[in-house]
Structure 1
């Protein structure tokens, strides 16, 4: 089944670009380094994640605190995300029409598969969930909106990679390789297999690659309206959803569901 034609935002600009504001980019990187499981981070932790000098991070966190994007907890000398970031995120999610259209269909599939069905899009080197539905019978694998999933080893990330063009994919994979040269051969083999699966099956797969005991399949689509490509993922614990069940029973339903979402968005 052919992959839908999608494109993604350009690779982040480098400092050689005269239009690129490095200080702004660094400030945004500081905010982005807070993950869904983080309550607070110190300047040292932020510096390590952003690969910036601690002195630079100190100035950035001070400025972001003054602007309400971070809250400084003086007792422990660390920071948490401020209400200004909540306002930005909430506004974005409310305006995502695709969430309203997809959610009932996602819940239906989650209940059928006794699994978790998620809607996500790429942010740097990971996929971030913007909607999530799970079967009431699912006892484990509880992720939520805002969760970040590895780009190259997860089904949702691999579907995104499979749906973009080779010219778009190549530089991103080079960046992923540079981040961990030692792990790259295994990661590349998984991505290559996912590209083949996407061409032949219409979905990308991750059977124990993202997490050892988690199986999932995913399909990408173009939501339109200037939004970046998005992906819907269906997965769960390997003892609940086997590869055979996902490919035989869930796959045709997932492909049909994505087609229905695209048709609704086009209307």
Structure 2
């Protein structure tokens, strides 16, 4: 489903959402006097590193973030001194340092729903021979904060920290379907600007997901993200008012046809979320 990690010399991908964020920095400085652009730029440098692009040089980072290379050089030097990046003399490139790892674990620890949801997720994964994941939104991506897989030989090769698109995946569409109309339209507008050629098809899929969530409680992505991946998604609206999360369940298309998604896995994932909601209310 997901391509193997590329060689270090392969072209660096530029996430759409990260380019958009870099374009916003100058306007944010003008609109918000409290906005610290230097800090925002440093964080954009850290965000440039992904599972796919885990080792980057200053030129790569400049291309991803849209920041001037001299600015990037100063930021990477500072972040290295602080332990957020580490530098390889042999490669002449950077990778994330242990200070970022400690922040990541602290963030995961604060997502208390993970511990509650995991037993239910593992039970469904074992039953279905599937992958079951929990994610939160980061710009136009969903980031896995919990992941369970079965012992089946064929499952999706994703794990904690994996990023998937909001607009074409079951997890992302589930979250979009649960958002207030104004927020959903805002995110759809931003996605449309970066992929106008495919937007009519993507928009139709999101609108269908909103209707499916209203009538069935779950959404489907059958080959919309990757042609060989089918999944269902259900949002979780935490009772404490924290940001909406979303679950998915799925795997290879040849094992999870639409009928199985609709008649079996969708209702089971809805039941999983209801169990998690009930457990959260009892805390």
TM-score (norm 2): 0.86
Counterpart of 2:157 in structure 1 is: 142
Separation (CA, whole Å) in 2 of partners of 1:138 and 1:227: 36
Separation (CA, whole Å) in 2 of partners of 1:28 and 1:230: 23
Q: Does 1:81 align with 2:96?
A: yes
Counterpart of 2:7 in structure 1 is: none
Pair 176,94 (structure 1): closer, same or farther in 2 beyond 3 Å? same
Q: Deviations over 1:242-267 (max 9, x none)?
A: 11101101111111110110111121
What is the Cα deviation at residue 74 of structure 1? 1.7
Separation (CA, whole Å) in 1 of partners of 2:44 and 2:230: 31
Counterpart of 1:180 in structure 2 is: 195
Counterpart of 1:219 in structure 2 is: 234
Q: Does 1:116 align with 2:116?
A: no
Q: 1:205 is paired with a residue of what secondary structure? A: strand
Q: 2:80 is paired with a residue of what secondary structure? A: helix
| Structure of higher RCO (CA pairs closer than 8 Å, 6+ residues apart) | 1
Counterpart of 1:7 in structure 2 is: none
Aligned pairs (5 A) from 1:149-160: 149-160=164-175
Separation (CA, whole Å) in 2 of partners of 1:110 and 1:171: 33
Counterpart of 1:72 in structure 2 is: 87
Point out the more displaced range, 68-77 or 30-39. 30-39
Separation (CA, whole Å) in 2 of partners of 1:55 and 1:184: 36
Q: Does 1:193 align with 2:208?
A: yes
Question: Is the 1:113–1:241 contact (alpha carbons within 8 Å) kept by the matching residues of 2?
Answer: no
Aligned residues: 257
Mind listing any 5+ residue stretches in structure 1 that lack a counterpart? Answer: 1-10
Separation (CA, whole Å) in 2 of partners of 1:214 and 1:172: 23
Pair 22,239 (structure 1): closer, same or farther in 2 beyond 3 Å? same
Q: Does 1:42 align with 2:60?
A: no
TM-align CA RMSD: 1.7
Separation (CA, whole Å) in 2 of partners of 1:81 and 1:243: 40
Q: Deviations over 1:142-162 (max 9, x none)?
A: 210000001101010111111
Q: Does 1:228 align with 2:243?
A: yes
What is the Cα deviation at residue 225 of structure 1? 4.5
Counterpart of 2:140 in structure 1 is: 125
Separation (CA, whole Å) in 1 of partners of 2:272 and 2:145: 17
Pair 138,204 (structure 1): closer, same or farther in 2 beyond 3 Å? farther
Pair 237,94 (structure 1): closer, same or farther in 2 beyond 3 Å? same
Counterpart of 1:4 in structure 2 is: none
